[in-house]
Structure 1
């Protein structure tokens, strides 16, 4: 059996691999514990980011000098070291165990299963089989929670620093978002220091008053928080075609879900109106009848007592959506 470590690539675990069930089993045990521990600094989605920013505004921490920092962790799943992640895992389990157990499992049993999963990651490349000796398989449920635990240990210095400054810090898997009122050169020094403290964790960061994070563009416009939906330039306006054989209620839910997402993300009614037209165009391009689109939109605004947003772009009503 050939052995190879290629940290720049990612490998999927085959769906029928023997350790898939074990991986899901450990994930189901550890992921809820991790989320309860790290919820304050873990983003669930872009709407979660916006809610924290809105709270920042309410608390008076959002200022004309407020800038945003986005960071991307390079090849997180395949760069985490085997021994380092196992040490982080055992430390995490010991800290959050009762009588040396997590649920019904002893920590020793959890560690044995974790080693088994990491030691049986194989992949095929040009008709040859290789054993992955660094990182975890992309298709493994356990890899995500293991990477999260490893990252949680790494990010503690940044979390403490941001908390001391009443600033936001949060992470969505390998994407990090922060606010800062520090001079740019100072925050760069801090991030460069963090970038050099662990050879396995490398970040690329951007700082500005306008950044893209997940599917939202976040801006500080003259001391006013502005958020709009972010569309990648290469993204195509593809959604589930109306001609598909899916049940009708699923097709009817797509316009409502799209308009709800736009309302949750766009902070300004005019931006929402632009996005509403984008949604309409996407629906038309994918075969949705105009009457169906109009009916779905009418239903959404009527259900939320916001018909004046549809007819008059009423800003006050929109803010209560």
Structure 2
């Protein structure tokens, strides 16, 4: 069916009474779990939220307070809740009374959502186990990129550097630095990277527009996305953007790899085990020294984006979930 859509998002620069009143609770929860709790966002936009027929939360920061209010009966609308890494954060908490109490509350809150959506097959079981969710309540929808914008372009001049992109805490730049040696490496991240020695040939920057990022993808030799072994599908957007630009991606094969039936080693990507600098070094040497193989993988990568991971396919799957939920009202 057709829907009219309204968007709600936070504004950290806005200072008002609602934000001040919510801050103590939000700060406490954030300190315990490491994930935000945007109750003030919900409060500020309550009129628009309460008038909606279906709610779709795309981040845990908003999904948690919405699910809390739904479990309390304050919200009655169906809730589709996208979760990205929450189960990993909760499972890593030390075992003490406070953390067990928080987990109990989260189980109750998240269980009130009509559908939980994660961005990869590997995260489904983790969400079900951590939050005691019944089979079928958690679904995977594969993230998609704009394959018209993220594209190979008109054969730009390739330069001799390896590119790595990402700022989430699951990035494993320590392993990457151990593996790259003296290869020229360009890292795009807001993270503070330690252990960069004078022998490393590394550039670290973060302030790029999408047009500039696309140019970095197009001109690099290949892309490396090093990930710690978690169930969250980390590194997804950077990997798919690079593949859409027709680049070979060396990617860590973690428990959160979004679809192991599509992401195939030596076909459309190169997969390496986590926290293994020797294997990563071998993969980097292999792709650097075998241009023809890299070209074949790059072509297959672009076709994979077109057939599986475009933003159109992502939107169609989300629309399918919305239609299913609307029929349940």
Structure showing greater relative contact order (alpha-carbon pairs closer than 8 Å, 6 or more residues apart): 1
More helix per residue: 1 or 2?
Answer: 1
Q: TM-score range by the shorter chain?
A: under 0.3
The TM-score normalised by the length of structure 1 is 0.26
Q: Which has the larger radius of gyration?
A: 1
More strand per residue: 1 or 2?
Answer: 1
